[in-house]
A = this chain, B = another copy of it.
Amino acid sequence: MQDLERQIAFIKEIDKVKYIQRRTRLFQSDRHENDAEHSWHLAMMTLVLAPHANEPVDVLKVLKMVLIHDIVEIDAGDTFIYDTQKAHENTDEERLAATRIFGILPDDQAQELIAIWEEFEAGETAEARFARSMDRLEPLLQNVSNDGGTWKEFDVDYRKVYEKKEKIRNGSAVLWNYAHGLIEDSVARGILKKED
């Protein structure tokens, strides 16, 4: 198949990302967010928050990461970050999904996007650390705006939230400082449970 036909087939395939519902809801809303909306929002956050990264980041690479990071969920489904039954990170199912879906593209593009997705998942480069901090910050902002949101809905407490969100610091100490303040405020407001 010609390159262009493979690219168009990929563009059609990823339309499915718009149907993948997340647990979190839009700001001050009851409507669940889908993965396409989420990915767009992370891209916008990257554009405006990149100056707060701990180290200078290649913004184009971060954008690629956040734009593609959930495409594997077309096959593997969304895993809730606080799900203790299922490992969240880079399962075999997700690797297979990446191979199948990015594999629709011409080989060089498939290899590039699989490598970027792997880099995001590994979280070891400055770009991946920052991209992952975007992915953790957005639902925190949403839950705060929704008076607890998924924390209340799924009985998630301060300790679990702190443990997951603390990794924002790996991408940006400035943003972690802000996020930490929101978490403490949420306890004070009574929308996040904290054991004494």
Give chain A's interface residues, CB within 8 Å of chain B.
4, 7-8, 10-12, 14-15, 17-19, 26-27, 29, 33-34, 36-37, 39-41, 43-45, 47-49, 52, 59-60, 63-64, 67-68, 105, 109, 113, 141, 145, 174-175, 178
Contacts and interface: CB of A to CB of B under 8 A. Distances in A.
Contact of A67 (B43, B68, B105): B43
A141 B11 contact: yes
Contact of A12 (B11, B27, B109): B27
Contacts of A64: 47
A145 to B, nearest CB: 7
A103 to B, nearest CB: 13
Contact of A45 (B11, B43, B63): B11
A72 to B, nearest CB: 14
Instruction: List the 5 closest A-B pairs by CB distance, nearest first.
Output: A40-B40, A15-B27, A60-B60, A36-B37, A36-B40
A34 to B, nearest CB: 7
A8 B43 contact: no
A107 B59 CA distance: 20
Contacts of A12: 27, 141, 145
A186 to B, nearest CB: 15
A50 to B, nearest CB: 10
